[in-house]
Amino acid sequence: MNAPSGKISHVSDTALWVAYYRHMETQRHDAIFRDPYAKMLSGEKGEAIVNAMASGRKMAWAMIVRTKVFDEVVLDLIAKENVDLVINLAAGLDARPWRLDLPAALRWVDVDFPDMVEYKTSRLANETPRCRYEAVATDLSNHATRASVFAQISAGATRTLVLSEGLLIYLEPADVAALARDLADIPSARWWMIDIASPRLLVWMKRSWAKAGQMTNAEFKFAPAEGTAFFAPHGWTERDFHSAMDSADRLNRTMPGMWFWRFIARFYPKRIREGFKRFSGYALLIRAK
């Protein structure tokens, strides 16, 4: 039997890649979260993707930190704001409904491509989620049906949190704007948790991935120069921003060699240093209307 390819042939393959990073973190004695399903979900291809990358394992910190910060925000909002529905867009192989301590009455709805939904639900068929779990198979890029899907999912909910972890960067700005408007039209939608990159980071990522030749079918596209202000005309404003760099420091998962960049940054004006904190991060948006 041939070994699985390490090439990302479809954007859904990135879910296998990220799941393997969650497995790597789970194996640590000082893990900042534990995902006992990650290895099963990532499969051999997830590991192959990581191994095929020039610095695949060194880049794990970014996905691991992102996972933990999203965990923290999800649990905090559910506890303090009485969230009754979580809509997880492009959910991939996220196992939060199984691994987090969630209220049994909470509804959690994963939305993703049909093939991904089938793969994930089959792998987890013998596992019991902590909450009321549903999976909806749909193509989120289909504007004609997306709004009706959102309406069906959110029916009866009063306080909805939307997650889009690792999704927006693969979309064109016009598509992100349209998605933001559709989400703002959900009556119960109050919060939207996203990750966001800066234009400078996008350029660096494109150059790095071009050399590796792995991401030709999952191109990075969205990194607005105005940051989270991009969402204001489309119904959303920033409530909280968690810098990836600062979060990595707090969680003791900094990028290898970060000490050097921090040393260099000392010689930049404060305005530039503050800009570094927006190089990438995780934002909690609230609906503006």
CATH level 3 topology of 13-287: Rossmann fold (3.40.50)
For tokens 């420091």, name the residue.
Answer: 249
Summarised one tens digit per residue, pLDDT across range 117-147 is 999 999 999 999 999 999 999 999 888 899 9
Closest CA to 224 of 146, 169, 143: 169
Q: Comparing 5-9, 121-125, 198-202, which segment has the lowest mean pLDDT?
A: 5-9
Summarised one tens digit per residue, pLDDT across range 88-118 is 999 999 999 999 999 999 999 999 999 999 9
Taking the C-alpha atoms of residue 201 and residue 141, their distance in angstroms, rounded to an integer, is 25
Summarised one tens digit per residue, pLDDT across range 42-75 is 998 888 888 887 676 778 899 999 999 999 999 9
Taking the C-alpha atoms of residue 35 and residue 261, their distance in angstroms, rounded to an integer, is 31
In the predicted model, is pLDDT for residue 5 greater than 70? Answer: no
| Domain ranges, ordered by start, for the chain | 13-287
Q: How far is C-alpha 227 from the chain's CA centre? A: 17
What are the φ and ψ backbone dihedral angles of 203, each rounded to 5 degrees? -60, -45
Whole-angstrom CA distances from 185 to 86, 147, 167, 175, 190 are: 16, 8, 20, 15, 10
Structural contact between residues 162 and 179, judged by C-beta atoms closer than 8 angstroms? no
